[in-house]
A and B are shown apart, each in its own frame.
Chain A
Amino acid sequence: MNAIDPIHAEAQGIRLSGVTKSYDAKAVTIPPMDIEMRAGEFTVILGPSGCGKSTLLQMIAGLERVTGGTISIGGREVQDLEPKERGLAMVFQNYALYPHMTVAQNIGYSLRVAGIQRAERDARVKAVARMLGLADFLHRKPGQLSGGQRQRVAIGRAIIREPGVLLFDEPLSNLDAQLRQDMRLELAELHHRIGATSIFVTHDQVEAMTLADRILILNKGRVEQFDTPKTIYSRPASIFVAKFIGAPPMNILPVSGDGRALRFGNGKVFAASPLKGEFLLGIRPESIVLDRHGPIRAQLRHREDLGSHMILTAAFDLVDLRIALPFGSAEPQQSDLHLHFPRECLHLFDVEGRRIEADFHLEYAN
């Protein structure tokens, strides 16, 4: 399929070395950051609002200056170059289509600025429009298009220059749920066809999990974790990541160890372990098993049936435990719940919230 695609980019890797950003001398928005994105990789930058993800994207784009450090694209240092000199393109959150230009003019504007001949411009606009299913709308203005069509125009305008790097700034956040799902698939396909290195900013974990080769999770300007979706889900590097990925979020329970056993806050022994000190124990709602012989007892307080699964909320040791039961599993009949935490599904964090990777030798005392 690639052979007949008119638009095909030479993907380029991106490396950020010691990149920092501060808006004034006092407040540091982004502390020194070193990351590398491989050529052709689809990276999703994920984080809550205000975490610096848009700032990071705009620094790569050249819309925001870096305070320190270097950014190189395809081995070329670009931090002092204008956006147009960096060989990248961007899709904006609100599309940012020029309202007074037609679809064709919008898509072809960058070529016009670059002084490309009309004939070639028209040909390339047509090719892009065909690729995105916009061929019938070339002479419409953005105001006459639906949200999804506008989104496609915004993408068309970005890919027409065959950029080595494609940037997306929360491009799906303005679409309704169904359309968002469709566009997600289209974007994934498009990425495979064009092959450009893509960086996609979002606060939506579903978009991140489904689109990304690797997810970069930012918190207050710091990189919490930069890894594949699978690893991020199965081995979150911190409580922040653990709670940010997965819905409902991971249950976090404080435990303390005296060198022989880990105990919950209520003094009940959870498991034998040589660990000493205060820790935080994490378990995902979908990992908790209802088990008549389970050692952990909780009081059922609330149940929400979502059809595909059911979420139970149960009081345990001063905190609320969330338990997700898949469709068809046996529902609890009384409010006294007996639970089992499978050992391989447990995550242990220190009090700072960092993951403890060392094997922590839990022994359940059955």
Chain B
Amino acid sequence: MTSDSARFGHRWLPILLVLPLMILILLFFYAPVIQAFYWSFFLEQPFGGGSQFVGFDNFSRVLADPEFWRATWRTLIFMVTASALAVVLPLVLAIAADRQIRLSPVARNVLVWPKGVAGASIGVVFAFIFNPFVGILAPLNNWFPGLWAPGLDGVDAFITLIVAHVWSGIPFNFVILLAGLRAVPHTLYQAAALDGAGPWRRIRDLQLPLIAPQLFLTLVLEFTESITSVFALIDTITKGGPGGATTLLVYKIYADGFRGYDLSGASTQTVMLMIFVVLLAGCQFAFLGRRINYER
């Protein structure tokens, strides 16, 4: 019970304290969100040429556009593959780093470095590393010409994006999962050892179930993260190419809005993407979140 005893009773001061952040959030979060919804029902002219209410026309236009569906499909594929890798790899690393071995302090230090490297910066680096002519796989092309061609082959470009995305995503997921592992009481391992469970078995029977909350959380965050932060990678590595093979929704929205000046179309796609992201998080919390909750 939080009774009133542990709080101040002032009336105006808290409003004053909350106001600055609230104004910023209303202005730069809620106003844009509302505006996106608003525009998705209007045909908006660029450069303030007036607008006209069109009902669901924008939605039917977008939904009838095969390019939209392709971008959505690519987004889904990227979301699933990149998120899975961006959680599984840090998970394996965290389980390894949780052991008392010589490399684990080094790894714990190094593995958070990507947090300081912008997606666009590492995008530029990977664009170089995976360059088919001078990059790390260039020798491959000498033996088998055309085997590695991210500039021509959509799959190669996609792989490059995933490798760069996983690189960027390691710190957060690694730190969260490692913290989860370290919160498991040591006595549990001892008990399991007395029960006859060897170290490999303890990973499966103890560590994985016990960090399920962290795994779930990283996965939820990673889904949204993979959809949005991939923009910097696309813009620096593939520019949506080749032939639109890496044009995911965020990139398409940006291109439609800022290059094509199709504000209504971009807003409509924004609205659909927002609804998708919110639904995704909602579903995951509703179905998965309930089951994975241990009292520690």
A binding-site residues for B, Cβ under 8 Å = 23, 55, 58, 63-65
Contacts and interface: CB of A to CB of B under 8 A. Distances in A.
Nearest to B6: A63
Interface string B1-18: 101111001000000000
B4 to A, nearest CB: 6
Contacts of B5: 58, 63-64
Interface of A is mostly: loop
Contacts, number: 11
Contacts of A23: 1, 3
Interface residues of B, number: 6
Contacts of A65: 4, 9
A44 B67 CA distance: 78
Interface string B167-188: 0000000000000000000000
Nearest to B1: A23
Q: 4 nearest interchain CB pairs?
A: A63-B5, A64-B5, A58-B5, A65-B4
A23 B6 CA distance: 14
Q: Looking at B4, B5, B6, which has the most chain A CB atoms within 10 Å of its CB?
A: B5
B228 to A, nearest CB: 39
A23 B5 CA distance: 11
Interface in B162-211: none
Nearest to B7: A63
A58 B6 CA distance: 10
A66 to B, nearest CB: 11
A361 to B, nearest CB: 49
Nearest to A64: B5
Interface in B1-49: 1, 3-6, 9
Q: Looking at B1, B3, B4, which has the most chain A CB atoms within 10 Å of its CB?
A: B3
A333 B5 CA distance: 58
B9 to A, nearest CB: 8
B254 to A, nearest CB: 47
A23 B1 CA distance: 10
Nearest to A82: B9
Given A23-B3, A63-B5, A65-B4, 8 more contacts: A23-B1, A55-B3, A58-B5, A63-B6, A64-B3, A64-B4, A64-B5, A65-B9
